[in-house]
């Protein structure tokens, strides 16, 4: 069986989930794990004795037998590490959000194209069984024309030291929306507030409007006493309610909606024009395979067979552009227009002074 030789950089909180899934994939030889901190590597070496551990990223770049590098380090390091990996002709799977700016994302997209390497972003939820099931329902036209997308991701969250709640939490919901609807927003409006005195908003509300009448809203917060992970998607025919945390019936599809009829006479009141449809609800089952296992298999397949990843560099770029526009709106208090069909201006990125090995 064809094998992909892989190295993972970053063995902090999230990296070990990727390490486990790459290690367990039959088509992968997990050759390296790299981290700046030796104690992180000691734990990995105990658990996976066949894997080489290193604090020097250059070891992975210099190994001609290494096909792919998986980047699970903090966001500010993604660009440099991915740029070096692609320049060394490695396929790349990089954590979300893809980079700190759309300019950096565009540089990586262009580099991957030039080198004919796979560049994929870990938008994990796109590979989750529930989201895949919802996508099937939407793609089959069961909901009709999509009217709105409404998402809540709130809890008493871990305040980040280098990012606001939008950059921390919204990439998940924006990437779910991007994956499910495949429609590009035209205007982004965000409001939020910072309560911790560190300049980073801990509560935010983002509204996206589209060319037609579609509207999307995202509520993200680190300051909620309860944890909520809910999504509503409304269509002209049916509507979906998805609750990630409920133990049963996480996806509910409601045959509910409204019909608007033309008034029969000028005397008819507006209320008479709306009729309600209240039909059945059904709760479809979905594949319970761990999302990362599905995602790792997809990355391996793309790298071995030259296929386009579902969450490729361009999808990572789209999400970062929406995050940037949301941030600009937060700071200015004004809605921001966005044109995702235009390429992002490539930048010569500043040297962040990041130690890479
Ligand atoms: N997909 C998801 O659901 C999900 C969930 C959590 C985090 N993440 C993402 O994963 C990434 C890492 O987050 P985390 O919470 O694991 O961070 P973390 O700080 O816990 O771990 C990062 C690790 O990277 C190491 N590191 C940093 N710079 C390095 C370098 N130059 N070379 C080698 N090692 C280096 C650090 O020593 C640390 O062990 C972030 O991009 C985050 O957004 C994704």
Q: Give the domain range for residue 176.
A: 129-282
For ligand 1, atom 7, name the residue with the nearest CA: 14
For ligand 1, atom 18, name the residue with the nearest CA: 12
Q: Which atom of ligand 1 is nearest to the CA of 123?
A: 1
101, 161: one domain: no
pLDDT category at 349 given cuts 50, 70, 90 is low
| CATH (domain of 269) | 3.30.360.10
91, 208: one domain: no
pTM of the model as a whole: 0.93
Decide if 344 is inside a domain: no
The residue to mutate among 56, 95, 295, having the most atoms of ligand 1 within 8 angstroms of its beta carbon, is 95
278, 301: one domain: no
The residue to mutate among 14, 40, 98, 293, having the most atoms of ligand 1 within 8 angstroms of its beta carbon, is 14
Q: What is the reported pLDDT for 342? A: 78
Q: How many domains does the chain have?
A: 2
pLDDT above 60 for 237? yes
pLDDT above 90 for 57? yes
Decide if 341 is inside a domain: no
333 C-alpha to center of ligand 1: Å? 31
Mean pLDDT over each residue of the chain, to the nearest integer: 93
Q: What is the reported pLDDT for 343? A: 75
Higher pLDDT, 352 or 118: 118
56, 148: one domain: no
Higher pLDDT, 283 or 266: 283
21, 79: one domain: yes
Q: Which of 70-79, 160-169, 279-288 has the lowest mean pLDDT?
A: 160-169
pLDDT above 60 for 47? yes
221, 297: one domain: no
60, 188: one domain: no
pLDDT above 70 for 235? yes
156, 259: one domain: yes
% of residues, the chain, pLDDT over 70: 94
Q: What is the reported pLDDT for 161? A: 78
Decide if 169 is inside a domain: yes
Q: What is the reported pLDDT for 352? A: 42
Q: Which atom of ligand 1 is nearest to the CA of 80?
A: 31
For ligand 1, atom 9, name the residue with the nearest CA: 95
pLDDT above 80 for 271? no
Ligand 1 residue neighbourhood (C-beta within 6 Å)? 9-15, 34-37, 40, 57, 72-75, 77, 95-96, 122, 124, 354-356
How far, in Å, CA of 36 to CA of 74, rounded?
Answer: 12
pLDDT above 90 for 326? yes
Decide if 320 is inside a domain: no
């Amino acid at each position: 069986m064809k094998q992909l030789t892989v190295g993972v950089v970053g063995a902090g909180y999230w990296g070990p989930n990727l390490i486990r899934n790459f290690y367990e994939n039959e088509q992968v030889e997990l050759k390296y794990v790299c981290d700046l901190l030796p104690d992180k590597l000691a734990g990995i070496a105990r658990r996976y004795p066949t894997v080489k551990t290193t604090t020097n990223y250059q070891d992975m770049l210099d190994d001609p037998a290494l096909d792919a590098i998986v980047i699970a380090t903090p966001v500010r390091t993604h660009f440099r590490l991915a740029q070096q990996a692609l320049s060394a002709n490695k396929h790349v799977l990089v954590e979300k959000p893809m980079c700190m700016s759309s300019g950096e994302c565009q540089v990586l997209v262009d580099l991957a194209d030039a080198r004919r390497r796979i560049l994929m972003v870990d938008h994990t939820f796109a590979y989750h069984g529930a989201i895949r099931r919802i996508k099937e329902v939407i793609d089959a036209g069961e909901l009709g024309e999509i009217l709105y997308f409404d998402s809540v991701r709130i809890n008493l969250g871990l305040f980040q030291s280098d990012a606001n709640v939008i950059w921390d939490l919204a990439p998940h919901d924006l990437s779910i929306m991007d994956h499910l609807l495949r429609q590009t927003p035209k205007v982004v409006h965000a409001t939020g507030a910072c309560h911790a005195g560190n300049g980073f908003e801990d509560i935010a509300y983002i509204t996206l409007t589209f060319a037609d009448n579609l509207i999307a809203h995202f509520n993200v917060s680190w300051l909620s006493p309860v944890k909520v992970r809910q999504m509503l998607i409304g269509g002209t025919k049916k509507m979906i309610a998805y609750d990630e945390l409920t133990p049963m019936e996480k996806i509910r599809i409601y045959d509910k909606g409204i019909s608007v009829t033309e008034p029969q006479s000028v005397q008819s009141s507006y209320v008479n024009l709306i009729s309600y449809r209240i039909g059945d609800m059904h709760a479809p089952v979905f594949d319970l395979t761990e999302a990362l296992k599905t995602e790792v298999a997809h990355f391996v397949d793309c790298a071995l067979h030259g296929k386009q990843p579902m969450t490729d560099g361009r999808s990572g770029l789209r999400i970062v552009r929406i995050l940037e526009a949301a941030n600009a709106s937060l700071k200015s208090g004004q809605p921001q227009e966005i044109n995702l069909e235009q390429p992002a201006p490539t930048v010569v990125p500043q040297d962040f002074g990041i130690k890479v090995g």
